[in-house]
Amino acid sequence: MQDYQSNIPKDRDKSGIPVVCSKCNATFASDSAYMSHYNQEHEKDEEQQTS
């Protein structure tokens, strides 16, 4: 998996711009909330596609 933070400015969470999940279009107030959601909801989808 790519390092998702490589293209995200360190102060992005302070900008007020929501993070949108590309898989389900859910929105999150912070990168950490998004990553928690992604790991719980979509990581298993990624594993199934690679096997």
Higher pLDDT, 16 or 6: 16
* Domain tally, the chain: 1
Region 14-37: mean pLDDT is: 90
Mean pLDDT of the chain: 79
Q: Is residue 31 part of a domain?
A: yes
Q: Is residue 50 part of a domain?
A: no
Domain holding 19, by residue range, is 4-44
Region 42-46: mean pLDDT is: 78
Q: Is residue 13 part of a domain?
A: yes
Spatial CA neighbour of 42 closest among 9, 5, 1, 12: 1
Q: Is residue 16 part of a domain?
A: yes
Region 6-27: mean pLDDT is: 80
Over pLDDT 90: what percentage of the chain? Answer: 35
Q: Is residue 51 part of a domain?
A: no
Report the pLDDT value the prediction gives residue 49, as an integer from 0 to 100: 74
Helix (H, G, I), strand (E, B) or coil at 46: helix
Q: Is residue 29 part of a domain?
A: yes
Q: Is residue 36 part of a domain?
A: yes
Q: Is residue 10 part of a domain?
A: yes
pTM: 0.62
